[in-house]
Structure 1
Amino acid sequence: MPIIEDLKEYAERATGLRRPGKKGAPDLVRERKPATVRFKDDGLVPNHPRWPLIIYRKAIDLAGKHDPAAVMEDLFEANGWGGSWRDGIYDYVHYHSRIHEVLGIARGKGRVRFGGNKGRTYTLKAGDVAVLPAGTGHQCLSADDDFLVVGAYPATGTYDECTAVEDRPRALKTIPKVAVPRKDPVYGAAGPLAKLWKKPK
């Protein structure tokens, strides 16, 4: 599936077809109250020491003429979250220690556990968006055959993938240093993220 989606994305970006564009994508956003949860360090996955996972349910209207994946890409990019990809979510526990991540569900549904082996499992469906602060463990437990996720990252930070106990010492130092993003990936500068992820005083 990733190769097909890569080809679709390339064609859509080259032609502009089935894309709302950065100006049009925010018009497809629905006002939603964020669901939040904080996870403790479980001994393998540090999670974030201060900031919660944020989940927006059915936050994006995907029922129109546009490709759902393109809608999410354009929306995230409009809010300063780039480096997007189309795929699923890895079926093993992992986290990023030097960057935050947004996961938008473009198609299908999947059961995703956040916070590591002692975390919580959520069923994510098309239109849902999860915003993960650095350090948040995530793993796909099961998914529909057509489950498609669009991931993206804020402008500040460096992508890494941590899976082992050996990653912890460095991760514990880098996670708290990852900067607050300038904008919420869904709701922009006025979105809930700024209040939920506050800089330490």
Structure 2
Amino acid sequence: MDRRDFNVMLAGMGLTMGHGRIRKASASTARVEAFTLHSNDWVPNNSRLPVIVYRNALEAGSGRESVYEDLFNRNGWPSRWRNGVYSFHHYHSLGHEVLGFSNGSARLMLGGPSGRAVDVRGGDIALLPAGTGHCNLGSDADFTVIGAYPPEQDFDILRAAPTPEQLARIQSLPFPMTDPVQGKGGALSREWHPS
């Protein structure tokens, strides 16, 4: 087995080579950006909980999807799918969502039409509170996303203003117990505060 195949195998187990020894993949050194998005046209966003973007959280590359899934699962956010980000504005009322960008790059619009454009690339991870609008404005062919949600939360795809019931659900979703990227004591515990 050559070195590249060995590293891919380690990545699949959530491990990496560091200074000649095997260690667990870690996202604790990621550079964290947080910003709040307020209601924008028909997109409710979440003025109580900011979006959190973890820059260079994990090593990027083809075949690294399971490393992101393992990280999310280990931190109590069951991974649910691998795909991309839809090219239309939408949001979710059934759960908070973490998006791990394992490969490629994209320009996303967060917050709905006329929201905030954010460039992401392999290695970045975005945590979107329920209600946050998101849309893929353009991505390369390698763009790969892993999606996860807190336990007992799910996703729906909403493309119109929320009903009063959907808005109430967004505001009353259970607060996540751990940061999906950095675990207990991570950026989520510093940036998200239950009301």
TM-score, normalization by structure 1: 0.83
Residue 28 (structure 1) aligned with residue 21 (structure 2): no
Where do 5+ consecutive residues of structure 2 fail to align? 1-8, 16-21
Report what 1:123 is aligned to.
119
Where do 5+ consecutive residues of structure 1 fail to align? 1-15
Greater Cα shift, 125-134 or 149-158:
149-158
Residue 84 of structure 1 and its aligned partner are, at CA, apart by: 2.1
Residue 93 of structure 1 and its aligned partner are, at CA, apart by: 0.5
Distance in 2 of aligned mates of 1:194 and 1:170: 27
Report what 1:135 is aligned to.
131
Aligned 8 A contact 1:48 1:136 in 2: yes
Aligned 8 A contact 2:14 2:25 in 1: no
Pairing of 1:14-163 with structure 2 (within 5 A): 19-21=12-14, 26-62=24-60, 67-163=63-159
Matched letter for residue 51 of structure 2:
L
Aligned 8 A contact 1:105 1:150 in 2: yes
Distance in 2 of aligned mates of 1:122 and 1:188: 24
Paired residue for 2:173, among 178, 194, 199?
178
Aligned 8 A contact 1:26 1:75 in 2: no
Residue 25 of structure 1 and its aligned partner are, at CA, apart by: 8.5
Distance in 2 of aligned mates of 1:88 and 1:20: 23
Deviations 1:13-64 (A, max 9, x none): xxx8751249x9853325123201111111310001301000011011236x
Moved over 6 A (4+): none
Matched letter for residue 143 of structure 2:
F
% identical equivalent positions: 39
Greater percentage in strand: 2
Matched letter for residue 156 of structure 1:
E
What SS does structure 1 have at the residue aligned with 2:106?
A: strand
Greater percentage in helix: 1
Deviations 1:56-95 (A, max 9, x none): 11011236xx931111011000001114211110000000
Matched letter for residue 20 of structure 1:
M
TM-score, normalization by structure 2: 0.85
Aligned 8 A contact 1:94 1:139 in 2: yes
Distance in 2 of aligned mates of 1:36 and 1:187: 14
Aligned 8 A contact 1:28 1:61 in 2: no
CA RMSD of aligned residues (A): 2.1
Q: In structure 2, do the counterparts of structure 1 residues 17 and 55 end up closer, same or farther at CA, with 3 Å as the change threshold? A: closer
